[in-house]
Structure 1
């Protein structure tokens, strides 16, 4: 058995709805199944979703205060007064700033922008920075992607004599700032049709309202900010990203071309994953480490050389960020392992001096991904006496709510169920850590601590082809609220398996249903190759893609998880060098030896605890390593039936094999008995070697036959001298314990040690799969 790494949650199939969608919309069967699994049953609704167009773009003036904001901005433009766009240091804030600046400049505004520094100004409105803006001559501040919680700062700006417009998408508080206009898709007094816009989405609405034109040219920035900010990709967000990606692929914008170049991305192949994993991290790196202003400058410039220089700067900063994250993550993991070992608590809180607070959120995500525990990573500042950090959670642990229970320890925090930011005195860190562990034990079950995998569609290999996979592009873009589908391919046989990559840490499989085959690649899953047996039947979950090599296209599955039901047999027979197979044995395995002398030998050779069958704990014996041969199949049956293992490693060592020696046949026994009768007596120990050479036998064969005759009463033995008994009883050779013992020994070696893998599996399977018929099946093999 191979247990999956995650809990698979498979959607209920709706074959009727899928077929209805397929026929009505001309979709591939796989695409139709995906939509049906996501709750689309009406073809018109499904068509509107996947073929979304500008008809889904809502009138920007449906937003509360949009008319006030437009009038105020236009008034400042007409009178030539300066306008400051106050942005934010993440990708959403950077692109929001870009969109609004382009709109203002296109109208001839005297406009400039400022981006707060995470370390100097913190997040959101900052009174000191507002004062700098005022001193630069601004009479109007327009915030983008922030400001909804800046009550005191807005009041300060008003006291300076500036007008203030807030455009934001974060959660409004109970009391809103006293701004001249607040543009927010979820304004408490508004009724805008779609409340999930990113900050850049709100900026696009303002740009549309200001210019009177749909902001098509700015959709390239809208797509980047929307994907990077992880807002749900439906309604207007889906439109922004879908149209924006298409424009990103063909734009002549120097910033996009430069970003594509430093990211090693082919511009015509840009998609949502490009944004999320290539563009977004590079833009965010500036704000995480310092000043994000160069990112806005890159997007606004029309000079290709300047854009290239700034993109390289983003790329360099991202490399710094990657190294910093890796270093802090290594320290955090070492801290966890040193503190807890294998007994990882329900909630993890780690803290360190010198950690950059701008990247601890990424580290928290890595910790949560590695251990699947709610995680808090804190950067300690001993001079200020504070700990500042980020939290990431898992399903079942509402991070904001659980932090709120510790409000006396954490004076400053904010967030939502899955993530949060927090600042607290250093002396409260230990108590917070202990409190959260207790809270985690109260609210999280053991099942909650197993990561989940939502499987959308179960497929057969017959359904997987190039055309069907290509058709899935029509369902994109994928993201929050409409994740990339996960497919399950059940009960397939593994035709081949191997580890790939320079470090052999990736997995390559070929699987088959008997008629069709599929290549499977699992990055970082090379360890699973050690768990696959030659006869393995597996169920796979992952993402369908097309592998193109030398002009040839083949379907392949990018593996996310794998499982196999039933027991497994691993064949390590004949492997004399323990070092070749011992490292592949799971830590929880129980090493079993049937014979006492084997216990001593393997305890010395392996350093492992070796038990005999009578000492076995059935509950903890799901993985067995059978080190030596039992004396009989009954002995093996007793062992396996007592614990029903899911994994068996068969070594079956014997100090000296008797299988190839064989048993003397009756003709040999007849000749030897006639020889003894003629001689009357024969000294086996002195003359047996010479007789053996004469007959081409081994000396052991002579000794064996003599012993059999003695046990049957055919000869007497005294001091090595065999004397024939007159008129011996008529008895069969099998009545000799020595004869029958060797016969059993050879049979057990043939059955367990020298049989082909499939035959050995059938023998063991007759015990594990059908105990009631085990004896009948075993007899067939011996």
Structure 2
């Protein structure tokens, strides 16, 4: 067996599939739509072909008319308007959208984004006081402000009107602001999951009085980067936003695409992995205003300079993340296993607070454990940082159960931010590890892969993959589909300059499919030939040297049956073992001291020393057979006690183990007649006789030994003499003949058999205990 690294959740039984009329799509795509809650042809048409007309009327948002009226009054009166944003990609794009809309209307405006390190998240009193001093009478928040109850009071006391546009979770108490434009505060608004930039865009649309397509290239950045569900309005905005950013003439975006080497149409992965992280890097390390300047500039040279500096910051951010991650990993490894058994918590002075969430995510992926990474401020005695979790552990719920340990805490099930006194770190570690131990099984710590279909290889064609692309853009609420395939591969090999990747050629009924697993090269020795291999991954199209063919980008693989690794006759079998194999048993049936030294980590017994009761007590998962047994019953006795995941046949058939083939009865007759005629045969004449017949010397000696045991011959010192009155006996009555028959059976079954024959024989010995899992076929 080869255990999957993740938990595989087959989701396709949970939904009914089928549309009344033909949508001109495959049943598999209909199934994918159904799993996304698309169950009517009208819904399917809207999903597959989004239209701007599907967007909702911004006038349905609560307080939006009041807010628009106040902004227009400020513009008319020449008041100064301040856009107060946030330092992430959503906040930066929200700020840019609002500034562009205000400037188009001729407003006197500017923007302000707080510093992550000196001010923290959201509106703050000092910033509002500064705005008042600079003559601002109206502040519009974007992507922030819904929790700014105190700050709203400050604004009112300063004589500043505060308009809040936000999308974050609504708190128990709403700020007493001039207006709050928030989908979740709007009973009449049909969709509540807009990103901060989506809310800012809606406000800009209502303010401008028309649909501002020119802002869609900004809207798509925050919508995708902030990981809001890409359904309903977000899907429409992302769909048209990707088209807009692909053809945008905005200098800042041109410079970013140039930097990221994006020369084709932009897709959601470009936003999520290239553009978004670079914008985020600015706010993680210093003032995010530079990122807004990049998006708003009309000068391509200035844009390139800003983009180049942002690239430097991103590279610096990557190095900082790498350094902290290495330090954090070393701390985890140095701790006792019990300290971070279920939840990892690491803390150190001097760590950059802006990247701790990324580091926590890395630790989660590395250890399959929830992780909290904290930076200690020795001056204040506080530890501040971020947390990320596994699917099965609700961070928010469990941290709220110990809320008294924190001075500040916020977040949701999978991610959180927190501040606490340094002396509370140890109690927090103890509490969370205890709660996780009580709530979770070993399987719960694994990453979850949600599989949307099990596909036969023949169905994976270019047209089907292109059809799946109609479901893009993919993201939260509309994940890129993961598919499951199961078949015996034609070929498995390591690829890459350091052999760290895996390539599998799946074959089924003459149909072929290539699968590529990045970083899976180490699994190569764990996959035996002819094993039923299962893989989960995303479908893509591979174009190389003019050839176009389907490809599975593998996320995980598994073999859910026991495996035979055939190293019979090899001198280097011991090099095939990987260090991560646990519960290994090596068995030898002779006391041969010249055997190759075993790698570390094996329990090694000779059969004569092996208590069979031990096999029932120990859970040995990997069995190595070092030599051939003298009696096949000995091996059967061992296998009958085991329930292995893998068996390694590592034995050789050394020279004198047996005669190449058991002599025939005709050969025995000839030798007997020859001896009767000669009357005697001296030992020194045996080699000459063997050479005459083309036999091995050992063969002649064996036949003579059988004659002696059956008393057909007698030995007189160094001579063999025929008996005068031998009793009639069958050759099989001779002990040597019986031993040779047994040895030849062992060699035939265990050494000279084909891979398939050996596997079937071994399987039959522990068949009733075979731990093969049920196959998943078409979701059943």
Q: In the TM superposition, what is the alpha-carbon distance from 1:520 to its structure 2 partner?
A: 1.1
Distance 2:599 2:525 in 1: 22
Match of 1:308 in 2: 304
Cα 1:253–1:289 change in 2 (3 A) is same
Equivalent residues in 2 for 1:510-525, closer than 5 Å: 510-525=505-520
- Structure 1 position 262 matched with structure 2 position 269: no
| CA–CA distance in structure 2, aligned partners of residues 489 and 605 of structure 1 | 35
Structure 1 residue matching 2:641: 3-state secondary structure: helix
- d(CA) in 1 for partners of 2:674, 2:601: 52
Moved more, 153-162 or 463-472: 153-162
Aligned residues of 1:29 and 1:468 also touching (Cα < 8 A): no
State the match for 1:438 in structure 2: 434
Which stretch of the first structure deviates more once superposed, 242-251 or 45-54? 45-54
Is 2:608 the counterpart of 1:636?
no
1:54 aligned to 2:26? no
Q: Which moved more, 1:708-717 or 1:104-113?
A: 708-717
Give the drift of 1:83.
1.2
Shift of 1:69: 1.4
Aligned-pair CA distance for 1:732: 2.3
Partner of residue 294 from structure 2, selected from 298, 309, 328: 298
Counterpart pick for 2:704 among 698, 706, 709: 706
- Give 2:232's match in structure 1, choosing from 232, 235, 247: 235
Show the counterpart of 1:18.
Answer: 18
More displaced, 226-235 or 743-752? 743-752
Change over 3 Å in CA distance of 1:16–1:281 after alignment to 2: closer
SS in 1 for 2:141: strand
Q: How far 1:688 moved relative to its partner?
A: 4.7
Q: Which residues of structure 2 form unaligned runs of 5+? A: 771-780
Give the corresponding residue for 2:356. Answer: 360
What's the offset of the Cα at 1:122?
Answer: 0.7
Is the alpha carbon distance of 1:568 and 1:233 closer, same or farther for their aligned partners in structure 2, counting shifts above 3 Å? same
Contact map agreement 1:14 1:36 (CA 8 A) in 2 = no
CA RMSD of aligned residues (A): 2.6
Match of 2:778 in 1: none
Measure, in 2, the Cα distance between the counterparts of 1:273 and 1:215: 25
Equivalent residue runs for 1:469-480 within 5 Å: 469-480=465-476
Any conservation in 2 of the 1:13–1:37 contact (CA below 8 Å)? no
- What CA distance in whole angstroms lies between the structure 2 residues aligned with 1:624 and 1:573? 14
| Cα-to-partner distance string for 1:218-253 (whole Å, 9 max, x where unaligned) | 111111101111111112111111110111111211
Aligned counterparts of 1:440 and 1:474: Cα–Cα separation in 2: 40
CA contact (8 A) 2:340 2:433 kept: no
Closer, same or farther in 2 for the Cα pair 1:185/1:153, shift >3 Å? same
**CA deviation string 1:747-779 (max 9, x = no partner):** 32232112232232233344345899xxxxxxx
Distance in 2, matches of 1:409 and 1:18, equals: 52
For residues 510 and 339 of structure 2, what CA distance do their matches in structure 1 show?
46
Partner of 1:99, secondary structure, is helix
Partner of 1:350: 346
What is aligned with 2:142? Answer: 144
Task: Give the aligned partner of residue 411 of structure 1.
Answer: 407
- 1:101 paired with 2:95, answer no
Q: Which residue of 2 aligns with 1:580?
A: 575
Q: Where in structure 2 are the equivalents of 1:727-738 lying within 5 Å?
A: 727-738=725-736
- Please state if 1:331 is matched with 2:330: no
Kindly indicate whether the alpha-carbon contact (under 8 Å) linking 1:603 and 1:609 is maintained by their aligned counterparts in 2. no
Per-residue CA deviations over 1:687-719 (Å, capped at 9, x if unaligned) read 655655566554434433332222212334466
Aligned length: 765
Residue 554 of structure 1: how far off its partner (Å): 0.8
Q: 1:609 to 1:644 in 2, by over 3 A?
A: closer
Deviation at 1:276, TM superposition (A): 0.8
Q: Cα 1:451–1:583, aligned 2, differ >3 Å: closer, same or farther?
A: closer
Within a 5 Å distance, the mapping from 1:520-539 to structure 2 comes to 520-539=515-534
Q: CA deviation at 1:534?
A: 1.9
Q: 197, 200, 205: which is aligned to 1:203?
A: 200
Mark the CA change 1:700 to 1:461 in structure 2 (over 3 Å): closer, same or farther: closer
Structure 1 pair 584–370 and aligned structure 2 pair: CA distance change class (3 A): closer
Q: Which residue of 1 aligns with 2:250?
A: 253
Is the 1:658–1:746 contact (alpha carbons within 8 Å) kept by the matching residues of 2? no
The 1:601–1:341 alpha-carbon spacing in structure 2 relative to 1, beyond 3 Å, is: farther
State the match for 1:244 in structure 2.
Answer: 241
2:735 and 2:328 mapped to 1: Cα distance? 65
Matched, 1:610 2:604: yes
CA distance in 2, matches of 1:462, 1:683: 71
